[in-house]
Amino acid sequence: GLAIKVQEQKRDEALNRLVPAAASVIRNWWRLRCVYQRNRFVATWKIYTLIQRRVNALTPPVVSSAPPLLRLLSAGVLNERNPFRFNQTNPNNLRRKSITKFEDLPKRYIAAIKIIRILKYSSSCKKFT
């Protein structure tokens, strides 16, 4: 009786591990399929139309008599503690571009999304086996 109970418990544990993995495989397969048929499955791209892209704004060159390093420090481009390290973003030089349709997404975003979805699908398949 005890051996049968242990077997049933192990079978239940194995099944409980497989169900979420199978669901992950199915979900990632569907998302991967939707990437290659953009025009049919518009809803899958809806999440990416809610983001706002940061675009560098064109600013006129500043003419100043100050030395170049001092100008960079005053503009906030260089970090004061470590002068060789640049700040990632300068809010004065950025503007936001609203994305309303998935056709507005840049090609590199779409390529990155495809690669990420391929990787997620392959990793979920490995977890399932």
pLDDT digits (tens, 9 = 90+) for 72-123: 445 554 455 555 554 455 555 555 566 667 777 788 888 888 899 999 999 9
Q: Does residue 46 share a domain with residue 36?
A: yes
> What's the pLDDT tens digit per position in 55-68?
555 555 555 555 55
73 and 59 in a common domain: yes
Instruction: Name the band, by pLDDT with cuts 50, 70 and 90, for residue 23.
Output: very high
Q: Does a structural domain hold residue 68?
A: yes
Kindly state whether residues 21 and 42 are assigned to the same domain: yes
Residues whose CB falls within 8 Å of the CB of residue 95, separated by 6 or more in sequence, listed in order: 54, 55, 57
Same domain, 80 and 112: no
76 with 106, same domain: the answer is: no
How is residue 123 written in tokens?
Answer: 């990793």
8: in domain: no
Q: Which domain holds residue 61?
A: 55-98
Please report whether residue 1 resides in a domain.
no
Query: What is the number of domains present in the chain?
Result: 2
Q: Is pLDDT larger for residue 125 or for residue 80?
A: 125
Predicted pLDDT at 50: 62
Measured in degrees and rounded to the nearest 5, phi and psi for residue 105 equal: -65, 135
Residue 5 lies in a domain: no
Q: What angle do CA 21, 27, 33 make, to 5 degrees?
A: 135
- Give the per-residue pLDDT at 78: 47
Cα end-to-end distance, the chain, whole Å? 31
Amino acid identity, position 65: S
Hey, what amino acid is at 53? Answer: R
